[in-house]
């Protein structure tokens, strides 16, 4: 039975978002910084590889079940980039103003009809560091890249990710609505079902 998790992230935006998303379940979630765990080296070439690396790293150091998220932005006009390099698109440690500006600059000549993109989220829950069958959930969120930053909610690339169904950028959505639509929110709903099934089996 899982009653507590370590979140394998030191990203303040993700920590805040997961805290909001997970507040309805009876599982205590604390960020890996609680145990002074540094970020793992993301050496994988896919989202799922990197999520497993991060979850295993946190589980090994803390001795607790670990939940890791590897998310990114996949842009059609950039041949799927920045992809797994999303957080390092403008260099390690660059802030969101810098990397969203780089994205918009690189797409300034891309016509409106070719600005399709999607957010991708892969969640991995490892019960322990040597877990051979981790729980894995993934989801995508389709949208388009704007021509300028819009909105002040969310984090990362939210201000440049336009959501056609809502006629606004992700960063202009109320948090509750974003959680219903987003890649991370829907992947988490999948994961919660997997956790429940897993706990029903092991109960």
Res. 199 pLDDT band, cuts 50 70 90: confident
Cα torsion through 45, 51, 52, 54, rounded to 10: 110
Model pLDDT, residue 11: 82
Model pLDDT, residue 166: 98
Instruction: Tell me which of 86 and 12 has the higher pLDDT.
Output: 86
Give the number of other Cβ atoms within 10 Å of residue 82's Cβ.
20
What total number of domains does the chain contain?
1
Closest CA to 133 of 194, 196, 63: 194
80, pLDDT greater than 90: yes
- Domain containing 8 equals 4-202
Query: Which residues of 148-198 form beta strands (DSSP E)?
Result: 161-163, 168-169
* Cα 42 to the center of its chain, rounded Å: 14
Q: Respond yes or no: is residue 200 known to be catalytic.
A: no
pLDDT in tens, 110-165: 999 999 999 999 999 999 999 999 999 999 999 999 999 999 998 999 999 999 99
pLDDT in tens, 175-198: 889 989 999 999 999 998 998 888
- The catalytic residue among 41, 69, 70, 130 is 70
- The tokens describing 167, both together, are 């006629």
Whichever domain contains 187, its CATH number is 3.90.950.10
Res. 64 pLDDT band, cuts 50 70 90: very high
Res. 13 pLDDT band, cuts 50 70 90: confident
Instruction: State pTM to two decimals.
Output: 0.91
């Amino acid at each position: 039975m899982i009653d507590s998790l370590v979140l394998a992230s030191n990203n303040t935006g993700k920590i805040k978002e997961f805290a909001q998303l997970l507040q309805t379940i009876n599982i205590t979630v604390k960020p890996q910084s609680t145990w002074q765990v540094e970020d793992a080296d993301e050496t994988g070439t896919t989202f799922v590889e990197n999520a497993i690396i991060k979850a295993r790293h946190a589980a090994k150091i803390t001795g607790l079940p670990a939940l890791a998220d590897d998310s990114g932005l996949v842009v059609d006009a950039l041949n799927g980039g920045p992809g797994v390099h999303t957080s390092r698109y403008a260099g390690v440690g660059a802030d969101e103003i810098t990397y969203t500006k780089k994205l918009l600059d690189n797409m300034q000549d891309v016509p409106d009809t070719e600005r399709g993109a999607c957010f991708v989220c892969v969640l991995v829950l490892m019960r322990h560091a040597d877990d051979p069958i981790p729980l894995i959930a993934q989801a995508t969120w389709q949208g388009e890249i704007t021509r300028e930053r819009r909105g002040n909610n969310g984090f990362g690339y939210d201000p440049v990710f336009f959501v056609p169904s809502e006629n606004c950028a992700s960063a202009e959505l109320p948090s509750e609505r974003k959680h219903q639509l987003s890649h991370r929110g829907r992947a988490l709903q999948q994961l919660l079902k997997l956790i429940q099934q897993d706990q029903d089996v092991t109960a």
